[in-house]
Structure 1
Amino acid sequence: MRAPVHEDASRTVTAIYRTLEEQIVRGLLPPSARLPAERQLSELFATTRITLREALGQLESQGLIYREERRGWFVSPPRVVYNPLVRSHFHAMVTEQGRVPSTELLSARLIPANSSVCELLALPALTGVYQIRRTRRIDGRLVLYVEHYLTPAFFPGLLDNDLTHSLTDLYAQKYGIHYGRVRFDIRPTALQAEAALALKVATGSLALHITRLKRDQRGQLIDCDLEFWRHDAIHVSVDVPD
């Protein structure tokens, strides 16, 4: 008696997953390598596109491959290690791990703070804040979309500066401001349209959402960052000292 169709499809999904996983782990499909087109893969495994996509989706959820809109599927590069306890910034963190960072400025403007930002920065209603929107790459790959919200009183003339480099360094060099206490909130999420568009992925793609709320050396709330990382690009690791 022939097995039900759904059981056959499940076996095929498992076979595709294991084949691609093995070739990725053994380096036959190296980091950043582009996979063959879905049509070619479905022909290779003698299956339908629907079954193939289920297997690819499972590989994506494990962080082994990723998809870019209109470009196809790629093998995920190694993750960068992110330690919230280390006082650093994106460019320094990535460079120290032997990778190449870059930042693109999407927009920088003064806007009325929305209710969430007012709550985070303890601001009254209808307060203006600087909003800086940026994307960041590692080895040329888009991995992070971030929105920075800053209290203008601490940073006069900030928008006239080059905002493609470290804001941490800019704060220290131009304003004499250094970070004191920093609060991190980390949770998994699905990307909404704006962040997904910036990262060139489908809306609803998996991501890691990190909110960083920062005080200066005098304990004053100065800014907050809303970071949206591709889930396969980052490994959060915290080594708590004795």
Structure 2
Amino acid sequence: MTRLGQIKSIIKDRISSGTLGRRSKLPSERELSELFNTTRITIKDVLVSLETEGLIYREGRKGWYVSPPRICYNPLSRSHFEKMVQEQHRQARTELVTVRTDIAYGEYAQALEIDSLSSIHIIERVRFIDDRAVLLVENCLKSELFPNILEFDLATSLTHLFSNTYGYQTKRSKFEVFPTSAPKHVAKALGLSEGQPILKICRVNYKQDGELMDCEFEYWRPDAVMIKIDSGE
């Protein structure tokens, strides 16, 4: 086994045994390099490898921490975020970041299939699991379909709001799921460094008459979530 593999195996063993508990802070890269009598480059490679496996995560410039268990997330389910998290015996909350009305452009226009000058509402929210920011969501709505929606409490379930206020039921969705790097606004919201790995999910929703009504861009900390598809839910 290589030196990198040995160090990685030791840290993984400490995590699996509970010696390093969930969300506990790891020693600094300098301290680890001294402890294992190796270079900081080797330690960096070990930590990045463990991050890729979802065992640890970076908190901005504060350092490295042991990841809590992942949340199982079925994108096909219309269960709202808080319910999904609570059913897995964890605590959830949502904070509204910004709400704005803008002209559809770029990936917003592409996802909403808008090819003319049309306004959209963009609702940006941060979602927490056990008081840790793990998800930034951008909900993009076609303005003409949602009159006066900005007057409502947008930190609550939008699925319920769409149904109870506008009579819209999501009958079809399509998804794109891919890893990417965190843009500046996502990094700021989730306590990451710009460019760190994230999992991005784009969901486009159609209401009961087949009309496209909204899209969502979800930016997840990759160590916080496991995608589990179950069409029966």
What's the TM-score, normalizing by structure 1?
0.90
Shift of 1:124: 3.2
State the alpha-carbon separation in 1 of the partners of residues 171 and 213 from structure 2. Answer: 10
Structure 1 moving runs of 4+ over 6 Å:
none
Measured against aligned partners, the alpha-carbon deviations of 1:150-206 in whole angstroms (never above 9, x if no partner) come to 011221111122111211111122222221111111112122222122211122222
Matched position secondary structure for 2:15: helix
| C-alpha contact (below 8 Å) 2:61/2:193 kept by paired residues | no
Partner of 1:28, secondary structure, is coil
Q: Partners of 2:68 and 2:97 in 1: how far apart?
A: 25
Give the number of the structure whose alpha-carbon radius of gyration is greater. 1
SS at match of 1:117: helix
Letter matched to residue 77 of structure 2: V
Cross-structure match for 1:191: 182
Structure 1 equivalent of residue 74 of structure 2: 83
* Aligned 8 A contact 1:115 1:125 in 2: no
1:5-154 → structure 2 map (5 Å cutoff): 11-154=2-145
The answer to whether the 8 Å contact 1:113/1:129 transfers is yes
> Would the aligned equivalents of 1:42 and 1:52 in 2 still touch at CA under 8 Å?
yes
- 3-state SS of paired residue (1:77): coil
Q: Give 2:93's aligned amino acid.
A: S
1:148-167 to 2 correspondence within 5 Å?
148-167=139-158
- Distance in 2 of aligned mates of 1:177 and 1:93: 21
Unaligned residue ranges in structure 1 (runs of 5+): 1-9
2:142 & 2:114 partners in 1: Cα distance?
A: 9
Output the TM-score relative to the length of structure 2. 0.93
Task: Give 1:174's aligned residue.
Answer: 165
> What is the RMSD of the two structures over their aligned residues, measured on CA atoms?
1.6
Post-superposition CA distance 1:78-129 (Å, at most 9, x none): 1111112322121111111111111121110110110322232222322110
Partner residue of 2:191 out of 193, 200, 208: 200
Q: What CA distance in whole angstroms lies between the structure 1 residues aligned with 2:158 and 2:230?
A: 25
- Runs of 5+ consecutive residues of structure 2 not aligned to the other structure: none
